[in-house]
Amino acid sequence: MTTFTARSDVRRPASAERPRRGFSVVELLVAMTISTMALAAVISTVTFVARSTIATSDYSDMDREARTGLELFARDVRMASDVVSFSEDAVTLQVVTSGGTMSVNYTFVPQTRIFYRAYGTASQRVLISNIENFRLSRYSIAIDPDTGQPEEAINHAETKQIQLELRAVRTGPAKAFASNNVVSARYILRNKNLD
């Protein structure tokens, strides 16, 4: 009786072996091009997200700064009994306090681009920075019959309302451009008597 067993260690002849292949130059160039495009897309996305994050942070900072500054300005205007001085860049108010009256000065300095508050003899407090445009307006209690809006006041005696307009801007070498336009309500000098 003859038995046959299959041999697993049988080798193919050398002519039957498949040659080992590497990448061709064309395949390598195509792979590098696709990899470069994918890397460029990733870098572009990361840059966009970083700039958006910085711009959002700037908007948030400017909004917080403007809100805080306007709340303080509004409180002092509402408590004011009189306007001591006024221009488009500055206003000095006589503010009624529990201890009497005190001068409060609000000033925009174009050279430094800041809007600050000085209360009595205290040091200045920066309220809003990086301001591009700034304007204070004052209005009387009289209503213009054509527009139905309060008329602009021409002197301290008839000033009963004050409005603030500004544009704050943030830019930098690695930052996106961010701006914040603020137009306040017309704040009424509640403690001012008009004779």
**DSSP reduced 3-state for 168:** strand
Q: What is the pLDDT of residue 32?
A: 93
* Number of separate domains in the chain: 1
**DSSP reduced 3-state for 51:** helix
Q: What is the pLDDT of residue 169?
A: 84
**Residue-averaged pLDDT of the chain:** 82
Query: Quick check: is 25 in a domain?
Result: no
Q: What is the pLDDT of residue 91?
A: 92
Q: What is the pLDDT of residue 36?
A: 95
Give the C-alpha separation, 78 to 51, whole Å: 40
Query: Quick check: is 3 in a domain?
Result: no
pLDDT in tens, 160-186: 889 988 888 877 655 556 777 787 778
Name residues whose C-beta falls within 8 Å of residue 10's C-beta, 6 or more positions apart in sequence.
Answer: none
Query: Quick check: is 7 in a domain?
Result: no
Q: Which residues of the chain have pLDDT under 70?
A: 1-20, 120-122, 172-177, 194-195
Any idea which residue has 């704040």 for tokens? 187
- Asked if 187 and 163 touch (Cβ cutoff 8 Å), the reply is yes
Is the model's pTM score more than 0.75? no
What amino acid occupies position 137? S
Give the C-alpha separation, 49 to 78, whole Å: 43
Q: What is the pLDDT of residue 90?
A: 92
Query: Quick check: is 154 in a domain?
Result: yes
Which domain covers residue 127, as residue numbers? 32-188
Query: Quick check: is 38 in a domain?
Result: yes
Query: Quick check: is 16 in a domain?
Result: no
